[in-house]
Structure 1
Amino acid sequence: MNARPHALPQTLGRLPKQAPEIIRTVLLGAAAGIVLTAFHWAVQWMEAHGVHRLAGQAKWIFIVGTFALITVGALLASIVVEKLAPEAHGGGVMPTKVAFWKRGGAMQWRVALAKLVGSLLTLGCGVSLGPEGPAVQIGAATSSSLARGLGQTGARSSRSACAGGAAAGIAAAFGAPISAVAFVLEEIIGDLSSRLLGRVILMAVTSSLIARAVLGAHASFGGLQISSPTLWGWLLVAPVAAAASLSGVAFGNLALSIRSRGKRFTAVPRWLQPVFGAWTTWAIGVAAFLWTGHDGVFGTGYTDLTAALAGHLTMEETAVLLAGKIVATAAAVGVASCGGVFAPSLFIGGMCGALMGAVVKHFLPTGEADLILWVAAGMAASLGAVIRTPFTVVLLLFELTGQYLFVPALMLASAISVAVSHLFNHHGIYEEQLVQDGYDPESFLPVRNPRRWGERPIGSFIQPVGKGTAEGTPSAENSSAARDESGAWTIRRGNERVCVPSFPADLPVRAVLGLLLQAEADEAVVFDRSTGAFEGVVTLRELAKAQTALLEQE
């Protein structure tokens, strides 16, 4: 007998009030965890049997083999992504953020499939990127599309599935569920006290448990056994953090510059440009390998980063790998290759800390614990300068190293990274990518400054009629608004039609609030100034509520 197509949603609906929602959330987290654990294992397997195995062969075999591998991988990845879901090009965090805020969290299964295959080919074949950006988009798209199959069709349900799936992605990629939740709250949602917190935590934990059951406790730099750093070790944390922050800013700005030029370069189709990024990785990676004997420019570089933590790299080797990673990764990001910036940023910062250790040991009485402290602080600073999520950075490095002793240094490094980043850039790398793609981040992302909130056009609070709205913003009511013979707008109240104020969508929200209070009205119609078309309805109560919520965050 064939099962009825909607049997599962109906069965869940007969359980106690909170049980169906909890079960759905666990199922979504488990699905994302299974997909992402398979993805993480496959990337590791391809790296081990690809670039790392070729590194043990004769030099000419390494050169030819890596060129063939990285070219075929990048070309196939570009074709797959372009055919299945062009929006899956690039890192993954930025499109997930756009989907969460502009599309009510709705994402398609084909995005998850395209990102999974494209990223597996890109990362497994050695392009200088990391798995966390793709993991965010794969997890979010998997959970969002599956949620609709479980009967969760509302905007809030879609957003919770999208955010929880993104957290599940980070949790599976790094084995770090705490920082996964922090990253989603800081970067995707923009609110550490979001009402979605419970669902995000549950999905991240579920995904992390599955990853640990299959892959084991795969913290990238765990198991460090160290003594307490010396006084010189603690004193030099700030200079290391400043240098690593500057390196992170240099990497981010170079990547954005290449990305901007690539969008204007029409001689090569945009979807084919990742192949050129792969060739850049190959050229720099081969040069670095022939110089140092290390292949850390390829892929995540975690093997060489672990060697840096152990003090096994010379000053020259560290400097070459640092410079090569910055340029190779910036090129890969700039041409929208499938991969993230977490792993390269950690590598860049870690090499800055290792370089400090290689220099200072000739002048000061320092030890192994000092070197590890500087490498960890450098990782935190570089990543913080690139993504600007200080809370996430501290938690992530704590989870990756397992060293509670380092937390004060990580906090200092994170604070320095944010300060340095703000000196050179108005936005973090994700918001800068939004600007390059023609979005105004302030038109749909949460605003923290009350003055800038008041300057936003009232139309930015209105979603298209009949679609979900962003959490914490006034809703667009699908009311039967119409214009009467005199041109005034009316809306239905019960069995009557009532005349209400109307405002063009480009009018600042501060002006709308004042005019509503002056007219002693509690709601108004918003229309398009050029066409006169109805866009939505805003209420004084909802505007005041949104403003109050903003002020409470300050």
Structure 2
Amino acid sequence: CAVTVILFVSIFYFLRSRFFRAMSLKPHYKPAIGGLLVGIIAVFFPQVLGSGYGWIQIAMNGDIVQMSVILMMALVLLKILATSFTIGSGGSGGVFAPSLFIGAMVGGAFGQILTFVFPEIVTQPGGYVLVGMGAMLAGAAKVPIAAIVMVSEMAGNYNLLAPLMVASTFSYLLSGRWSIYEKQVENRASSPAHRREMTVDILERAEVKDAMTTKLIVARPGDSLEKALKTLLDRNIGRPPVVDDSDPTKLLGLVTKLDIMKAHARLSAER
């Protein structure tokens, strides 16, 4: 299923980018071309139309007359093409149901092959259909846990939970970064929607000592107001501390621009 995931994603985006977007046609003509191509496929293989849930059920029943190995393998490629033609051309559709259908056909074909080779060991090829569905969804949508739970719920039992976990995990890992969802981020930490909850606020752990500075710019009682004002303006300081001339560690007070302006006004009035 991991190989099928890569094939699905490659064909899907190749047809969208290199075929439909390269057409020098108005956008509303392209879905018509995509629909025409899907219709041509459906004339010979109507199984590619719709969600395909009915054909998935036939594959689960192991009916080799209606769903042979060759037919299921052909439907894998044809469903990929039909989905790519529809969505790549700008038509309306999704990739969830096609992913399940493609995975079911891969799993069904694999199950029938094992039944033919090991008839005494493999007696329920329909189980491989469900496992294929989960593995394909896990790899294509990058949701292994959701695929396991969803397919188990769709089947109505959890007897296939172990093989679903194994197949979904391998499909997820082996398919790498290949995803049918173009805007899907790699993990929750990379998502803008979840970035705040995944990141620990640095200020919550930092202490005042980590931000304070020991190289203080100070003023002294004997400094002129002109010098103090120049220091405030040049260094862009709001209120430097005023320290004692004999003991720099002794804080006498603070001086601000407003204090200097008030002192200037008072001295000017006295004169």
| Superposition TM-score tier, normalisation by shorter sequence | 0.5 to 0.7
Give 1:471 deviation, angstroms.
6.0
The structure 2 residue matched to 1:329, chosen from 58, 83, 88, is 83
TM-score between the two structures when normalised by the length of structure 1: 0.33
Matched, 1:383 2:137: yes
Q: Give the equivalent residue in structure 2 for 1:260.
A: 17
Distance of 2:35 and 2:209 partners within structure 1: 58
Amino acid at match of 1:265: A
Q: 1:316 to 1:429 in 2, by over 3 A?
A: closer
Q: What secondary structure, in the 3-state scheme, does the structure 2 residue paired with 1:428 have?
A: coil
| 1:340 correspondence with 2:94 | yes
Mapped partners of 1:263, 1:347: distance in 2? 24
Q: Give matches, 1:425-436, under 5 Å.
A: 425=177, 428-430=179-181, 433-434=182-183
Q: Does 1:419 align with 2:173?
A: yes
Measure how far apart 1:520 and its partner are: 4.7
Q: Would you say the 8 A contact 1:296–1:302 is kept in 2?
A: no
**1:306 and 2:57 correspond:** yes
1:340-419 map, 5 Å: 340-366=94-120, 370-419=124-173
Do the aligned residues in 2 keep the contact of 1:274 with 1:336 (CA within 8 Å)?
A: yes
Instruction: List alignment gaps of at least 5 residues for structure 1.
Output: 1-243, 289-294, 436-440, 454-459, 461-469, 475-508, 522-554
Q: 1:406 to 1:266 in 2, by over 3 A?
A: same
CA offset at residue 339 of structure 1?
1.3
For 2:154 and 2:141, locate their aligned partners in 1 and report how far apart those are by CA, in whole Å: 18
Q: Is the 8 A contact 2:79 2:102 kept in 1?
A: yes
Aligned with 1:447 (options 185, 189, 192): 189
Letter in 2 for 1:255: F
Q: 1:323 to 1:472 in 2, by over 3 A?
A: closer
- Partner SS for 2:125: helix
Task: State the partner residue of 2:261.
Answer: none
What RMSD, in angstroms, separates the aligned Cα atoms of the two structures?
3.2
Q: CA deviation at 1:378?
A: 0.7
Please state whether the residue corresponding to 1:308 is helix, strand or coil: helix
Contact kept, 8 Å, 2:148 with 2:165, in 1: the verdict is yes
The 2-side partners of 1:352 and 1:278 are apart by 25
Per the alignment, in what secondary structure is the counterpart of residue 116 of structure 2? coil
- Tell me by how many angstroms 1:409 deviates: 1.0
Alpha-carbon distance between aligned partners in 2 of 1:402 and 1:517, rounded to the nearest angstrom: 60
2:37 is aligned with 1:280 = yes
1:320 matched to 2:70: no
Structure 2 counterpart SS, 1:362: helix
1:530-549 equivalent positions in 2, closer than 5 A: none
- Please, what TM-score do these two structures have when normalized by structure 2? 0.65
Corresponding residue for residue 196 of structure 2: 473
Percent same amino acid at aligned positions? Answer: 28
Contact 1:296 1:321 (8 Å CA) reproduced: yes
* Bigger-Rg structure (1/2): 2
Shift of 1:369: 5.2
